[in-house]
Amino acid sequence: MAAPIAKSLSDIYSLNVDAQSQRYAHLVAKFAEIYGAKPEFVARAPGRVNIIGEHIDYCGFPVFPMAIAPDTLIAVRANGTDRVRVAN
């Protein structure tokens, strides 16, 4: 299954879309500053908490996870080499 692609931040965030827009713009600008070009795409992973089942999901037992508002953003661009460069 292909990853979903959002066309607008309002497709992802229901609150504080302006603040999220500033966050994305800052990430893209910082990426371009560090690597000399804008990212090809930005990937997002929502945060998660386990209501029950902490540390047992990797053993195959049931868990009750829930997405939370804090998320992780990753800006990505191929660099034409076999090396991965990472900045935080």
Note the pLDDT tens digit of each residue in 37-60: 999 999 999 998 888 777 777 777
* Cut 0.85: pTM above it: no
Whole-Å CA distances, 85 to 14, 31, 43, 70, 80 = 32, 11, 16, 24, 12
Torsion of CA 12, 68, 18, 8, to 10 degrees: -10
**Residue 80: DSSP 8-state:** S
For 9-28, what is each residue's pLDDT tens digit? 999 998 899 999 999 999 99
Kind and range of the H or E run holding 10: none
Whole-Å CA distances, 69 to 43, 48, 83 = 15, 9, 32
